[in-house]
Structure 1
Amino acid sequence: MNITRRTLLAAASAVALLAQPMIAQAQDLPRNMRLVIGSKSTGGDTYQASAMVADALSEKLGINIKVDAVGSSEAFKVLSRDKRGTTIMMFHDQAYLGHLYGVTGYDDIFANYNIGPTVAINPGNAYLVPADSPYQSMDDILQAAADGTRVRVAIQPGGVSEIGFSAMKNAAKVMNPGSEENIVAVNTGSQSDKNQAMWDDLADVINGSIQGNEQFTQLPADDEKAMRFVWITARPETLEQAPEAGMGGTSRDEMLKHASPETSVTLDGNEDFTFDKEFFMLFNKDMDPAISEAIDAALTEIYDAGDIQTRQKEAFFIPNFLPSDEAKAHLQAKRDTYGKVIEQISQGN
């Protein structure tokens, strides 16, 4: 009986010892944290991705994390002011693309903030044409530009919506110098504005998303709102992790036909341009490092457990956890690649 009791006590002590690192880290955190996001929408992908991570972290660390959709300008301001760590931020590639494009309110995040972990990818960034468009592929679009035809592309300038447009212009310049002048932007606002530009015959191509536009690709070809995908910017390795059924009436295999390498938009004549819309955290530069370390450690355990990946895939996100140090190096490499694309098409303008 004594041996059994000692064995049980030893086992309990071992369990408690294993739990101590996470408990100690959790004690370094504020009891209530505000996760501001670079979007004002509570129905968009930024809010969805953030809410899943906030819920998982709250449960793991035993604290309250509230997602607050305040928009990018306000989010950066609030984050800059809060050195205590009661405010953290979630955003996506727009955070550094806005700076590369010179958008007001976007500073260099790598200089002014600490980069936190990446958590997920939305693989849905895409470009579409009307169902009755003469352009069947990106090759057709780039050839039309080379032949002197003006191709109008509806985008929301200054970030995720524009980077694929910049890649089109860059590819045109690499393949047929001078033809990039025939790839022209139609600057709009929201996705509904871009859709309307197509329907009003103000744009030949629009930036869209699998999630937002797939429904229009399922309409009868003679419907005035019917569309076709011509390019999905995500890496094939990313799309291959999506559910086989895809989304709506578009399977994963059909999506892959519109992505590299089957649909090629060249980066430099040798490699294809690709773009994954990634979600990641940002922290105040002067925040106690123990807080970010606790978040990294908690997310490592959360992703090791695997439940969050299931929830993310059900919402058509691709899980992509990288701890802070790896995330920073990865995002800086992306920033440098896209910075070169933007610089290349700006030369001579």
Structure 2
Amino acid sequence: MTFTRRFILAGATALATALPAAAQELPGNVRLVIGSTSTGGDTYQNSSIVADALAEKLGINIKVDAVGATEAFKALDRDSRGTTLMIFHDQSYLGNLYGVRGYQDIFENYTVGPTVAINPGNAYLVPKGSEYQSMDDILTAAENGERVRVAIQPGGVSEIGFSAMKNAARVRSEGSEENIVAVNTGSQSDKNQTLFDDLADVINGSIQANEQFTQLPEDDQKSMRFVWITARPATLEQAPEEGMGDTTRDQLLQYASPETSVTLDGEEDFTFDKEFFFLYNPEMDEAIVEQIDTALEEIYAEGEIQERQKASFFIPNFLPSDEAQEHLREKRSTYDEVISQISGDNS
């Protein structure tokens, strides 16, 4: 009996060693952390749409947790099992380029997963009564020695357009970039308030958050006017024809390249799409990466998620992990060059 039992156990061990381990999959309960603390913002809204679709496809539970960038990265660092995933946007690498504390190089320290959507709404606005009717007016003013104050939230998506303004001023007339100055502030409401209080001439905003103010009469203290939308025209053209609020897509396109030009290098316009994508612990099993890629590919092929995203003024943009990594590395390289060109001039 003892010999027989040993023989069976030995055989079972040999068989287990010979067979490949079962591919790891997402667990039944997943925490999806996001780089925002707001449950009303675009990161939460977009992540919820994706999480709901992915959970239904895979038959699991996914809870979106708005913990903010620092806590989200910490949570991801602690969990390589796939029970914690992250969705964020370009801030994740821009924060590192700008030297913001808590932002590591995502391409070195994490696994970049698939892209899922674009928010084409990143914009810059002036008061309706402003003497600046266009971005050309703003850059010409800087060239003429006028100080143009731009309210931003430093260190990421809000600042990259500001950096592009300074770079465009430098390309047009070297030295004039010193007249494009930052008014560093916080949330969108804080940026709006600087305009209301005449503490800034231009603010970073968004189509979603600020379009309502563009409908106010000029004599209203809170009235605003778009001067620049950073999204690529090919992205904005995919938005619903009715646009947002009382501003149609065709009207919005007037503020984007090529109708509104903010030069990158004297020949090509600067553009910026705010893209949302997954981030994973670098030790997470590759099989889970492939599982998510496959599930999302099927979800986007079915088409329902695109309707939900467009209804919230997001542009569907699925790229599997390998393509997303290449694409986002290229974006980072372009913006790194812009930031380097004007480094030290943002005070």
Question: What TM-score, normalized by structure 1, do the two folds share?
Answer: 0.92
Give the Cα–Cα distance (whole angstroms) in 2 for the partners of residues 73 and 190 of structure 1: 17
* 1:56 equivalenced with 2:56 (yes/no): no
Residue 296 of structure 1 is matched in structure 2 by 293
Residue 198 of structure 2 is matched in structure 1 by 201
The counterpart of 2:39, out of the listed 32, 37, 42, is: 42
Residue 232 of structure 1 is matched in structure 2 by 229
| TM-fit CA distance, 1:31 | 1.0
Give the Cα–Cα distance (whole angstroms) in 2 for the partners of residues 82 and 289 of structure 1: 14
* 1:318 equivalenced with 2:315 (yes/no): yes
| TM-fit CA distance, 1:348 | 7.7
Give the Cα–Cα distance (whole angstroms) in 2 for the partners of residues 327 and 73 of structure 1: 23
Structure 2, unmatched stretches of 5+, are: 1-21
The counterpart of 2:164, out of the listed 163, 167, 185, is: 167
Residue 174 of structure 1 aligns to which amino acid in structure 2? V
State whether residues 122 and 274 of structure 2, in contact with CA within 8 Å, keep that contact through their aligned partners in structure 1.
Answer: yes
Give the Cα–Cα distance (whole angstroms) in 2 for the partners of residues 100 and 121 of structure 1: 21
Give the Cα–Cα distance (whole angstroms) in 1 for the partners of residues 261 and 120 of structure 2: 17
Matched residue of 2:342: which SS? helix
State whether residues 230 and 271 of structure 2, in contact with CA within 8 Å, keep that contact through their aligned partners in structure 1.
Answer: yes
* 1:143 equivalenced with 2:140 (yes/no): yes
Give the Cα–Cα distance (whole angstroms) in 1 for the partners of residues 35 and 104 of structure 2: 14
| TM-fit CA distance, 1:210 | 0.3
Identity of aligned residues (%): 77
Residue 167 of structure 2 aligns to which amino acid in structure 1? N
| TM-fit CA distance, 1:29 | 1.8
Matched residue of 1:85: which SS? coil
| TM-fit CA distance, 1:347 | 6.3
Map of 1:1-349 to 2, 5 A cutoff?
28-346=25-343
State whether residues 115 and 317 of structure 2, in contact with CA within 8 Å, keep that contact through their aligned partners in structure 1.
Answer: yes
Question: What TM-score, normalized by structure 2, do the two folds share?
Answer: 0.92
State whether residues 177 and 345 of structure 2, in contact with CA within 8 Å, keep that contact through their aligned partners in structure 1.
Answer: no
Per-residue Cα deviation, 1:194-217 (whole angstroms, up to 9, x for no partner): 000011100000000000000000
Structure 1, unmatched stretches of 5+, are: 1-23
Give the Cα–Cα distance (whole angstroms) in 1 for the partners of residues 187 and 57 of structure 2: 36
Count how many residue pairs are aligned between Structure 1 and Structure 2: 325
Distance 1:348 1:282, change over 3 A: closer
Residue 123 of structure 1 aligns to which amino acid in structure 2? P
Matched residue of 1:117: which SS? strand
Give the Cα–Cα distance (whole angstroms) in 2 for the partners of residues 164 and 29 of structure 1: 37
Q: CA RMSD in A?
A: 1.1
| TM-fit CA distance, 1:84 | 0.9
Give the Cα–Cα distance (whole angstroms) in 2 for the partners of residues 275 and 49 of structure 1: 18
Distance 1:348 1:302, change over 3 A: closer
